[in-house]
Structure 1
Amino acid sequence: MSVHATRTDGSGHGFTLQVADDGEITYQLAGDAVDMETTGSDQPDSVGNPALEGADLTHEGDGVGADAPDTPASGEPEVADVDTAAAPGACSDKTYKTLDLKEYGTYNWYVGDGGMPGGLSRSQASTAFRDAVGNIVGSSNNCGLSDTVSAKAEFKGYTDYEADVDSSGNCRSRDGLSTWDAGNLGATEIAVACTWSHVYAGRKNDLREADVRYNTSDFDFTDYPTSSCYRKHDVRGIGTHEAGHVFGLDDLYGNDDNLTMYGTPPFCTTKARTLGLGDVRGLRSIY
């Protein structure tokens, strides 16, 4: 089980707990050495018949956690993205970090119920989330890099299950469905990705489930970062970053502001929707 939070204060929030087949328990903090193992064989996950693990599953009402609708004024252009002056450009920054995690098969995922980020409808949110996941599995970039990443994902539809994340941003017992939704998290957490994996000795752990939740209690989001945008996070940019965690990429900090996996996203910009050189190199190292 792993939790990865996108936070406002620049601090990493990552913790991994592993239980091997022989009962051995190990853990890894976010600052520990990065596992660069990339070998493995296909072990596809199946979520066709989810079984609850624990009695902590709850259901949100449709009005919970929705921020105000945000749509562009007629003819208003989206905000142009400008690379941070002191940081390397997205297409020249080679930096990446990976987790001990890989989706060997297809990531089958769902959109939950309740309020969605940016005041989006459920259908609109599914489109934004699908675009975000597609940015990762398709190596979407403006650097002229071909897509050689073999990661796969499939949107399976809607569910009344929730992402298995509590209001403090902690992962709960998994319910068998990989669900994207929105709700309440810790006050500094913009979004959280919780992943559960099967431990393999000598190769990357096999992803079994990955849930993503946006924090709509403490932050505003928009699918249209226009010139009138103020202190709102891009739905698709945040989603692309969280999808990076789902497929095994870790947070970056320091002077890597222009990469999608930079851990503290700025307001009102769409640049995280497009991968940089380091983001693509990280995916290629896994897939």
Structure 2
Amino acid sequence: MFALILSATTISVGPQVMAAERCVLPEGELSISELPSGSSAIECDAIGRMVAYGNTGVTVPQPGMTVEVDSLTVSGEIDGFALSVSKDGIVSYGLGEENTESTVGGSDVPDDLSGTVTTPGDKTEESDSDGADESDIPQEGDVPVLTEDDFHTTALSACWDGAYKHKGWAEYGTYNWYIGDGGMPGALSRTQAMWAFTESIHNIVNPNVCGYNDGVDAWSKYKGTTTYEADINTSGKCTDRDGKSTWDAGNLPSGTLAVTCSFSASLPPGMKDDLTEADVRFNTQDYNFTNNPTSSCRNKFDIRSVGTHEAGHAFGLGHVTGRDHENLTMQPYVGSCETQSRSLGKGDILGLKKIYTDIH
């Protein structure tokens, strides 16, 4: 008979001594091959470590949590992935954009803030001008870049396309969100940004286009401003969750317009996870934004088009790919000065209905 001593580094077998296999991770940022699926985040002491995949990355969450990063790129390239840690600590990844057909018969669980982390970088005291892009100043004689007839034609085309993809979570309660400090896209004041972001989120929770009345059981509530920042670093990667769903702007990698980091808590098998936090950041370091694209618009991106797309991720919608779906909000591309993504298409709404109809 022999005993396995977990705290020791050797196993004794009769007179021989055999080295025990231990999980020792390299220093610095990890790859998914260095922390593969099936690893124990607990035994490997991986919780709080950054794992990179493609051009993105996430911080390994507490057991029972999933974190997913979605980047909106100027090229339309898909960039993002999910990392889950089961309640017993086992790591798994979601590297594709597949529909998750889990039931939505779950419930809003109390938000556990014991695993949140507040670092010095999470809280700042910035002025409205810090990090803002160039001011969104209307010019005399400007007209909207899309006339009502143009917009109607675009919306009509989108209403023929029923494609959608959705993720592994739902907001079973109310999405409570904040605006961070510092500069806003388009150099908007925080009050102006609040209205632009509110409309973006309401495009998701109150869809009423393509002949579909609002039948989506999802809610949101603006909670005010905060000195907390979105849990997204300058590399466009998700940092530790701090417990506040924050929308802000700042520095992201060139080529990335915006990033959403979504955190969700595990529910019993077969049910979608419960969203606990979703942070959004606009890239005002490399790109200029506008809240009112007009005929003089050049190389600016519509705040509400980008915001509606990012809100779609927060509420569980994934990217739909291919040129055949270019009129849908959840295509992985928003062109400069375009406003069509403000209005959902048939597939966007069907995806929301799949997630949210009668979930409560």
TM > 0.5 fold call: yes
1:155 and 1:106 map into 2 onto residues whose CA distance is 10
1:214 maps to which residue? 282
Q: Does 1:38 align with 2:103?
A: yes
1:160 maps to which residue? 227
- Contact (CA 8 Å) 2:260, 2:279: kept in 1 or not? yes
1:11 and 1:171 map into 2 onto residues whose CA distance is 19
Q: 4+ residue runs of structure 1 moved beyond 6 angstroms?
A: 85-88
- Contact (CA 8 Å) 2:73, 2:258: kept in 1 or not? yes
- Contact (CA 8 Å) 2:328, 2:347: kept in 1 or not? yes
2:303 maps to which residue? 235
1:158 and 1:50 map into 2 onto residues whose CA distance is 23
> 1:1-287 maps to which residues of 2 (within 5 A)?
1-31=67-97, 33-44=98-109, 46=111, 52-55=116-119, 56-59=121-124, 61-62=126-127, 63-74=129-140, 76-80=142-146, 82=150, 89-141=157-209, 143-200=210-267, 201-254=269-322, 255-287=324-356
TM-score (norm 1): 0.92
Number of aligned residue pairs: 283
Displacement after TM superposition at 1:253 (Å):
2.0
Displacement after TM superposition at 1:95 (Å):
0.6
Q: Which has the larger radius of gyration?
A: 2
Q: Which has the higher contact order (CA 8 A, sep 6+)?
A: 1
Displacement after TM superposition at 1:40 (Å):
2.2
1:34 partner SS = coil
2:83 partner SS = strand
Specify the code of the residue in structure 1 equivalent to 2:174. Answer: T
Displacement after TM superposition at 1:30 (Å):
2.9
1:197 and 1:209 map into 2 onto residues whose CA distance is 7
Greater displacement, 224-233 / 68-77:
68-77
1:89 partner SS = helix
5+ residue gaps, structure 2:
1-66
1:252 partner SS = coil
Greater displacement, 149-158 / 13-22:
13-22
Specify the code of the residue in structure 1 equivalent to 2:327. Answer: N
Q: CA distance change for structure 1 residues 88 and 117 in 2, over 3 Å: closer, same or farther?
A: same
2:132 and 2:96 map into 1 onto residues whose CA distance is 31
Specify the code of the residue in structure 1 equivalent to 2:350. Answer: R
1:99 and 1:171 map into 2 onto residues whose CA distance is 17
Q: Deviations over 1:260-282 (max 9, x none)?
A: 11111111121111111000000
1:125 and 1:67 map into 2 onto residues whose CA distance is 13
Displacement after TM superposition at 1:72 (Å):
2.3
1:229 and 1:72 map into 2 onto residues whose CA distance is 9
5+ residue gaps, structure 1:
none
Specify the code of the residue in structure 1 equivalent to 2:250. Answer: G
Q: Deviations over 1:101-152 (max 9, x none)?
A: 11011000000000000111111001100010011000142x1211110011
1:86 and 1:113 map into 2 onto residues whose CA distance is 35
Q: Deviations over 1:44-73 (max 9, x none)?
A: 5559x8985153524262232201111323
Q: CA distance change for structure 1 residues 88 and 160 in 2, over 3 Å: closer, same or farther?
A: same
Q: CA distance change for structure 1 residues 2 and 248 in 2, over 3 Å: closer, same or farther?
A: same
1:195 partner SS = strand
